[in-house]
Structure 1
Amino acid sequence: MSETDPAKLFDLMSPQYMASPYEAYRVARESAPVCPMSAQGPWIVTGRDEVAAVLTDTERFTARTNTHGAYGFTDECGQLLADSVFYRVAPFNADPAEHGRFRALVDEEFSERALRRHEPAVRAAARTLVDGFKDTGSVDLLAEFTQPLPLTVLCDIIGIPSGDRATVKGWLGDWLLMQVLPLPPEDQLRCAKSLLEYEAYVRSLLADRRRQPADDLLTVFADAAAQSDPVCTVDDAVLGLLVLLASGHETATHLVTNTVHQLLRDRAQWEKLVADRELIPAAVEEGLRFTTSVQSAPRTATEDVTLGGVAVPAGAKVHAMVAAVGRAPDTAEDPETFRVDRTGPPRHFAFGHGPHACLGAGLARLEARVALETLADALPDLELASGFAPQHIPGGLVINGLLALPVTWTTG
């Protein structure tokens, strides 16, 4: 195989690819910015202009199937899920008119005004988490901070009871596994059963909110589904909430984890940030550019189309690799270097691009900024644990993140 053979470049389960897919993106961007991984696809798009074209052309590249999973399932698994929401088109991924109506239900909750209202709670949650371990001298920062922080914040906004959140996290993990990796039959079946439990749980929460409204998104969705001319059905509400929790939690978790990892790999960057907190917003943008958690935005070609001079057939699954854009030469000077002192407006596509750009971009930036400020205040001498060797989650073409981030600091 040649160096640019897509099947070799995008070996999703290889340790090298999971540790850093960016070399694969670089080679593909320079030699084949639009290429199929195999005769069956999917197509991988790494060029900035080509990624932008896919994400802005909603007629020729639809988002309608991007939560169905990229891999086939056994007949037993498919039958089990036949009446679930798994194969439904998520309203957030619908075509523009339907997508706009549904998104309008929640836009206000993620507006600048709402973020100002949420910020004290985000800060309080971050401080509580750090206070729980700051006297220990060491911790897995992912398990004890970067994972529970966005989960706490988003569950509060949605209205998920605190006692249920660990269970919800497990269900969420199984649902995501079905979308990003080819699973053996026994794991498919386990995850499918888990999804059905998750779905039934969300339905019960929506029913509870119809009886007892509260100031949360569950109530917004329950009310919308109950109208005489509803914006969404109950199924739409269930799937919309699943997508919100997944996109708002996993992505923020790995954004903060990946950013802290890069800061501590080169402690000069961390020390700059500790000395000058005004650099923190730029550090967040650099994390989004350099090591974003979201790797791609999946689409489906609705017709035969020429993209970057390459013929892509109708029905092809297309992954617009937004992470590849972050390190493109036309995105930043010296793009392979992580720097917290970059200036100018961000040119990355970490939150997507076009009509389906991430609804929760402002919340993710707020969580990341507060996380870095809290760590810099409480643990200024933070460093990676001695001997730490990064291990990465098997995120396929969708997510890039660490399994753990052990850190140490001086106490007393």
Structure 2
Amino acid sequence: MAKTPPHPPGASEGRKPLSADQCPHLGREYNHFAGPHLENPYPFFEQLRKEAPVTFNPMLGMWLISRYDDVISVLNNPTAYSSAGVATTSVDRLTPEAQAILGPGPIIHDSPLNMDPPVHTRMKRLLQRGFTLAKVSRQEERVRQLTNALIDGFIHEGRVDLVQRFTHPLPAQVILNMVGVPQEDVEKVRRWSGSLFGLIFADIPPTVQPAMARDVVEYRNYCTQLIEQRRRQPQEDLTSDLVQAEPDGEALTMPELISLIGGSLLAAGHETTSAQLSIAVKNLLEHPERWQQLREDRTLIPKALEECMRLEGVAPGMVRTAIQDVEVGGVLLPKGSRLFLVYGSANRDEAHFKDPEHFDPHRENMQHLNFSRGIHFCLGAPLARLELRVALEQLIERIPGMRLVPGQDYGYHQEMLILRAIRQLQVEWTVS
């Protein structure tokens, strides 16, 4: 399939950009917040790729880009597409009482996710020092300890909601431990961060907003105290890494540090990893032969996890804004167009993946988009992969006979545009 040119041509070619009302109507059917497109969007994605690979969705106010090569062409061209506004942190939609509690300005400083160069370049460079491969590798023993401690808490019960007891708390404990949060503070930090992300991404009832706003203020203060403490007494943790200035004296500001420690690290290191671990285990147990295959050959676990992420990743897509008139998939779009890059569709594109609906842990091409691509490739990918691998290794070793409780509702939900998850995963096994 022909790829979109790296430098998109504009109206100078004599063509006019396509307007929303001129595009195929198929895109108007898409609603990934509810209904069949939430539960199982993949048949619709296949139809999109074949019939309307570039089409407009009025509910989102965005153009859906569903083919792999078109998505890659956008991700690899930050000069034509902006990441600003991927995740809004505005207080405008909150009640006056909640706004007064939060104070002026955004709820929290922007993160690298919705920054463009050169600001993004600086932020990513300073953040990278906490995520070197050597530092991530040194976390394996601690991740395994935390994993086994959680399993110890329910292994004799014979049945458990794996989301509540394992897949949700594990990534939170790992990243909070890396940040330097004491164990006794973990639960309140998780509550505070839940309030933060709720106010940013979710439609929160007015009556609840003031209490959540107070949580956010407490969270900011907690992060500030932790940062100031590490400046005085550095330790072996991520906060200490981030507060250190570069040799030339460049350092992150306090609002930037609070955003990275209180927002970005928990979002990338907790919510997404938790959601992905839940869905990966679900997918493996839904097909017992997959679980059995990993029981017999645990060296397949890393590739099996990559294949799980390709088949059902928790990142439905990502947002970009055209800085100029652009051409995507042969369609000319006007400057200012908002694009939703449908990762869930691109990861099953038959033009890029052979037999894309088939689970194959031996697949040679594992280039899925769950960690994005280009300058915004997720810095936390090595840590997420480590957590996923260790968690699955220990589940298979300690509860090899785990199986799904039949007839359950997994509770798919998507309050955030860029995160799809399940609320529960009921599993059972025979206690020996």
Compute the TM-score of the two structures, normalised by the length of structure 1: 0.90
For residues 145-224 of structure 1, the aligned pairs below 5 Å read 145-186=166-207, 191-224=212-245
- Aligned residue for 2:9? none
Aligned residue for 1:109, secondary structure, equals coil
Q: Structure 1 regions of 5+ residues with no counterpart?
A: none
Which residue does the alignment assign to 1:270? 291
Residue among 9, 30, 33 paired with 1:13 = 33
- Give the AA of the match of 1:97: P
Shift, 1:129, TM fit:
1.1
Shift of 1:87: 6.2
Q: Distance in 1 between matches of 2:326 and 2:398?
A: 53
Alpha-carbon separation, structure 2, partners of 1:89 and 1:53: 25
3-state SS, counterpart of residue 340 of structure 2: strand
Q: CA deviation at 1:22?
A: 2.4
Counterpart residue number, 2:84: 64
Q: Out of 52-61 and 86-95, give the one that drifted further.
A: 86-95
- What amino acid is aligned across from residue 296 of structure 2 in structure 1? A
Q: Partner residue of 2:20?
A: none
Instruction: Provide the residue aligned with 1:246 in structure 2.
Output: 267
- 1:24-73, Cα deviation, whole Å (9 max, x unpaired): 32232222222222187123222112211221111121123222169961
Contact 1:296 1:398 in 2 (8 A): yes
In structure 2, the CA distance between the partners of 1:58 and 1:191, relative to structure 1 (3 Å rule), is: farther
What amino acid is aligned across from residue 148 of structure 1 in structure 2? Answer: P
Kindly tell me: are residues 74 and 129 of structure 1, through their superposed partners in 2, closer, same or farther at Cα, counting changes over 3 Å?
closer
Corresponding residue SS for 1:30 = helix
| 1:280 and 2:301 correspond | yes
Provide, for residues 65-101 of structure 1, a one-character-per-residue CA deviation record: whole Å limited to 9, x for no partner: 2221699614635666563543643245432333233
- Provide the residue aligned with 1:399 in structure 2: 419
From 205, 225, 231, the equivalent of 2:251 is 231
Counterpart in the other structure of 2:339: 318
Which residue of the partner structure matches residue 295 of structure 1? 316
Look up the equivalent residue of 1:43 and give its one-letter code.
W
- Deviation for aligned residue 1:374: 0.3
Q: Which residue of 100, 122, 145 corresponds with 1:101?
A: 122
Read off the aligned partner of 1:273 and give its amino acid letter.
L
Q: Are the structure 2 counterparts of residues 35 and 224 from structure 1 closer, same or farther at C-alpha, using a change threshold of 3 Å?
A: farther
Q: Matched residue of 1:393: which SS?
A: strand
CA shift in 2, pair 1:87/1:253, >3 Å: closer
CA contact (8 A) 1:296 1:321 kept: yes
8 Å Cα contact 2:243-2:252 kept in structure 1: no
CA contact under 8 A between 2:348 and 2:357: conserved in structure 1?
A: yes
Aligned length: 408
Asked if structure 2 preserves the Cα contact closer than 8 Å seen for 1:295 and 1:399, the reply is: yes
Change (3 A) 1:17 1:196: farther
| Contact residue 43 and residue 317 of structure 1 kept, 8 A | yes
- Corresponding position: 1:342 with 2:355: no
C-alpha RMSD of the superposition: 2.7
Aligned to 1:26, which of 17, 37, 46?
46
Q: Which runs of 5+ in 2 are unaligned?
A: 1-22
Q: 1:32 to 1:201 in 2, by over 3 A?
A: farther
Q: Which has the higher helix share?
A: 1
Code of the aligned partner of 2:93: F
Distance 1:8 1:376 in 2: 40
Distance 1:95 1:132 in 2: 44
Aligned residues of 2:65 and 2:342 also touching (Cα < 8 A): yes
Instruction: Name the CA distance, whole Å, in 1 between partners of 2:244 and 2:178.
Output: 16
Q: Percent identity?
A: 31
Q: Deviations over 1:256-298 (max 9, x none)?
A: 1111101110101111111111111111111110111112222
In structure 2, the partner of 1:327 is 348
Superimposed CA distance per residue, residues 210-242 of structure 1 (whole angstroms, 9 cap, x where no aligned partner): 2332221212333339x9943321111111221
CA distance in 2, matches of 1:3, 1:34: 8
For the pair 1:379 / 2:426, whether they are aligned, the reply is no
Aligned to 2:382: 362
Residue 337 of structure 1 and its aligned partner are, at CA, apart by: 2.9
Greater Cα shift, 297-306 or 248-257 = 297-306
- Judge conservation of contact 2:95–2:209 (CA < 8 Å) in 1: no
Task: State the match for 2:428 in structure 1.
Answer: 408
Question: What is the rounded CA distance, in whole Å, between the counterparts of 1:82 and 1:336 in structure 2?
Answer: 49
8 Å contact 1:63–1:299 — kept in the other structure? yes
Q: Which amino acid aligns with 2:336?
A: G
Match of 1:352 in 2: 372
What is the alpha-carbon distance in structure 2 between the residues aligned to residue 47 and residue 389 of structure 1? 30
Q: 1:128 to 1:74 in 2, by over 3 A?
A: closer
CA distance in 2, matches of 1:114, 1:411: 37
Cα distance change, pair 125–201 in 1 and its aligned pair in 2 (3 A): same
**Aligned in 2, Cα 1:280/1:215: closer, same or farther, shift over 3 Å?**
same
**Structure 1 Cα separation of the partners of residues 106 and 91 of structure 2:** 17
CA distances 1:181-221 after superposition (whole Å, capped 9, x unpaired): 44454455554443333222212221222233222121233
Deviations 1:279-335 (A, max 9, x none): 111111111101111122222222232222334333333222222211111332222
Distance 1:310 1:173 in 2: 40
Match of 1:51 among 52, 71, 84: 71
* 1:332 maps to amino acid: F
- Over 3 Å counting, the alpha-carbon distance change for 1:87 and 1:59 in structure 2 is farther
Given that 1:254 and 1:402 are in contact with CA atoms closer than 8 Å, whether structure 2 keeps it comes out as yes
